[in-house]
Every structure is written in C-alpha cells, then in structure tokens.
Amino acid sequence: MGVFRAAAVQMRSGMEPERNARDMEALVREAAGFGATYVQTPEMTGAMVREKEAREKLFVPEDRDIIVATARRLAEELGLFLHIGSTAILREDGKVANRALLFSPTGETLATYDKIHMFDVDLDHGESWRESAAYEPGTHAVTARINDATLGFAICYDLRFPQLFRAEALAGAQVLTVPAAFTRQTGEAHWHVLLRARAIENGAFVVAAAQGGQHEDGRETFGHSLIVDPWGRVLAEADHDRPGVVVAEIDPSQSAAARGKIPNLKNAREFTLADGAGRTVERAEA
C-alpha cells in the first residue's frame, strides 16, 4: 500500500464565509507546499456563528457555498484530496446539515458525511450547547477510498461514540477522521485521550484538524490538531490554538500490522447482558 503525506489544517474561523474561504485557501496551499496529498480542515470551516438569526442567514445549498466552491477548485489545481471537515449546508428538504465533503484531485466530490451525533450538553461554568436546535443529524456512516487507503468519517462530538469508528474499521477503514471544534473545556479534559483511544482500539490512523482560539462569536476552541498512528503514538500536533498546519506520513500497512498484533476487530464476540439472577437483560452485537 502506498505511503502518503496527510495534513491537518488548524483554523480560527470567524463569522464571514468569504474571509474564512481565503484563510482556508492560504493554509491548504501551505499544506500542499509541505507535500501533503490529503488535506483536512476543521469542523465549521465555513463560519463559526453562535447567534441564531445571524447563523441562519449564512445557510445556502451546497452548489452555492463558497467553501465548497473554493475547496473543489483547490483540490483540482493542487492535485490533492481535500477534506472539508465540515460546513453548514442547506439541504433540499429545508433542513441544515453539519456536512463534511471530500474532493478528489480532479475536483470530483468523492463523499459527503452529515454529522450524526449532535452536541447537546451542559458543561461546568454555565457553558451549554444545543446543536440539534440548528442542525439535522445524519443517519449514515461513510467511508471512501483515497491514496490506496480507506478513510472513515466523523465530526467532533462523534468522537465520543466508539461504535461509529468500530463500524468504519470493520468496513476496512485504516484512517479515521475527526475534524472538530472542541470547546477549550472539553478539549483540555478529553481531546488527546479520546483520539488516541479511537486509534488504539481500531488499529487505525486518526487525523483530527481542529478549530482553535477565541472566535468572533465569543466561543473558545481548543486547537491542538493531531495525527495519531495505529499504535496510539502522536505523529504530529499543533501544540497551540493558533492557525497552522501539521503533517505526517500515513502508511496504511501500519494499520494492518497493528491489527495483526492485537486482532481485537476479529476477536470480538457477541454476548448477552444478564442481571444478578442470570436473567438476560440485553443482547449486544460484537
């Protein structure tokens, strides 16, 4: 299997999609200059807008979205796979998706993925989020082929649902993706350990481009974009919350090697959950 260079682009998206598209273009070009042939941007590349009315004014269909158009052009011009971690897309049914898009070196749309798990949480210090109030959750896990490897899709809060990554790994994904806009509070607590856990338990690379810093709408994100290998080792990290690019070599054969050493994907067994009296409460799949 061919080795390729992956890049995670760290951004600090503001409230104007046009400016974010320019910032994205500069960083993608920087990644291409480092030799990356797969480049990933973070969740909500297009805009970070918390206020409901201002946010809804930005929602447009995929064929009118400036991030989509810019990414398609860059992928073709630079001859690389460009993965927009996500941007808000107005669907044909009038609902809005938090959508990832993967473009080929010819500008073709290879895959789209709508975030499945909505970030509806109540954190310490009064920090509260209701993603489901703005976006319609997706219903399908997605994989796609790039550079002789299979890529599995996820977005941010999906990271806390290991069954999604297990399904993609069982479908052959050697590279799992987690573009994100983790809050500083949750990022400091869980970002590194969760990403490394998903890599280890699936014997897969994990590429996670992040938003970072203080945003125009008042929120603060953690940054620390990471690329992790199938043994859980951090290959590259943006050890800060500023915009930038990190790169690492991806050798899909290392995924096969890790799974050969610890074959937990094929060793999984079905089981039942019983109460103290031995009565079956629930049946679970491997």
43 catalytic residue (yes or no):
yes
Question: Which residue out of 51, 62, 115, 285 is catalytically annotated?
Answer: 115
The answer to whether 227 touches 239, Cβ cutoff 8 Å, is no
Give the integer Cα–Cα distance in Å for 25 and 8: 13
Beta-bridged to residue 120, according to DSSP, are 130
- Asked if 169 and 109 touch (Cβ cutoff 8 Å), the reply is no
The whole-angstrom separation of Cα 125 and Cα 214 is 17
Catalytically annotated residue among 16, 18, 25, 43 = 43
Kindly name the residue from 62, 108, 156, 216 that is annotated as catalytic. 156
Residue 14 phi, psi (nearest 5)? -100, -150
**CA-CA distance, 56 to 37, in Å (whole number)?**
34
Beta strands 205-208 and 175-177, pairing class? parallel
Helix boundaries (H) for 102-172: 162-170
Does residue 156 have an active-site annotation? yes
Q: Which residues contact 266 (CB under 8 A, 6 or more apart)?
A: none
Residues 6+ apart with CB under 8 A from 77: none
Residues 6+ apart with CB under 8 A from 169: 152, 176, 202, 203, 204, 265
Q: Is residue 6 a contact partner of residue 236, using CB atoms and an 8 Å limit?
A: no
Interatomic CA distance for residues 208 and 36, integer angstroms:
15
Largest Cα span, the chain: 65
Q: Which of 59, 45, 84 is nearest to 181 (CA)?
A: 45
Give the active site residues: 43, 115, 156
